[in-house]
Chain A
Amino acid sequence: MTIYWNSLGDFLAMGGYGLYVWGSFGLTALIMAIEPIAVARHRKTTISRLKRQLRAESRTTE
């Protein structure tokens, strides 16, 4: 399992395909980081909204 690259510069250049390779991996990483955050945030706002509604309901029935 030896590392294929000779230098960090080689690795980043990707043999001239740097723009295409890092453009692919970059956007994929970004989306896979943002989606879980968006899901967690949506969950938080939904829970606080539902709790508000629940409190309002119990007040009207009392």
Chain B
Amino acid sequence: MNDRFNLYKFASPATFYPLAGKLIPWFATASVVFGLIGLYIGMLVAPTDFQQGEGYRIIFIHVPASWMSMFIYIVMAFWAAIGLAFNTRLSGMMAQALAPTGALMAFLSLWTGALWGKPMWGTWWVWDARLTSELILLFLYIGYMALVASIDDPRRADKAGGLLLLVGVVNVPIIYFSVKWWNTLHQGSSVNLSKSSMAEVMLWSMLLMALCFWMYSIAVAFARVRTIMLERERHTDWVKAELNGEQA
């Protein structure tokens, strides 16, 4: 009973706005701390890779960026489903706040992948299943942002964007399993629940960097959603009270 009540309470922008504001510094600090320890271990302590030399160190940002690009999309699709099913105001704002960060993560995944592929495979780019599906993910992010921006009525924009997100979500398992389903140039996954192909220091560094990227994404998305809330709810009393308190 109590839990239900709280969930509904935090689904309202007026309660989520101050909560997000309080949480941002914590997520930002966690991101910096995880990032510094992860970089220290990955760039200074971890030994070289016997196959790929020092070039393998790109993994410490390539894998976290790729994970986040997929994870953020799934979270956006989750909010889209909630929004379409229950017509909640917060869900569309959440999806919109996450999109630019997700797009940047997809771009960084492709960028670091190209810089890794060149010395290891001899090419910046190949049209293989893993790379192509990740590029499609970037286009889905850009398409979602363009679609939402092109519709003036925010509730209609949320609905149209939400549909695109839900249709596009099939691409995520395709990216994830592409290295298994097709014969690709891209190597298989380095991390596995049962056994991992990486040395322990390297694995720790990568997980810390993944936490860094995760905390970063939450902090940036919370900061962005707060601005979207002010904009969209500008006719409500709570935003008017909030604006009177803000100096800008």
CB-based contact B53/A54 at 8 Å: no
A1 — which chain B residues lie within 8 A by C-beta? 41, 45
CB-based contact A35/B100 at 8 Å: yes
Q: Using A4-B47, A5-B44 as known contacts, say yes or no to A17 and B112 having CB atoms under 8 A apart.
A: no
Q: Using A20-B119, A24-B58, A27-B108 as known contacts, say yes or no to A50 and B234 having CB atoms under 8 A apart.
A: yes
**With an 8 A cutoff between CB atoms, is B104 at the interface?**
yes
Interface size class of A (residues with CB under 8 A): 20 to 34
Name which residue of chain B comes closest to A32, CB basis. B216
A5 — which chain B residues lie within 8 A by C-beta? 44
Nearest CB on A from B100, distance (A): 7
0/1 per residue, B154-170, Cβ < 8 Å to A? 00000000000000000
CB-based contact A47/B243 at 8 Å: yes
Nearest CB on A from B244, distance (A): 8
B104 — which chain A residues lie within 8 A by C-beta? 31, 35
Q: List 9 additional contacts besides A28-B108, A47-B248, A50-B230; criterion CB under 8 Å.
A: A4-B46, A16-B53, A17-B53, A31-B108, A35-B101, A36-B223, A39-B223, A43-B227, A51-B246
Top 3 A-B residue pairs of the complex, sorted by shortest distance between their CB atoms = A15-B54, A17-B55, A47-B248
CB-defined A-B contacts under 8 Å, sample of 11: A1-B45, A4-B45, A4-B47, A27-B108, A28-B111, A39-B220, A39-B224, A43-B223, A47-B243, A48-B248, A51-B246
Binding site for A on B (CB under 8 A): 28, 41, 43-48, 53-55, 57-58, 61-62, 65, 100-101, 104, 107-108, 111-112, 115-116, 118-119, 216, 219-220, 223-224, 226-227, 230-231, 234, 239-240, 243, 246, 248
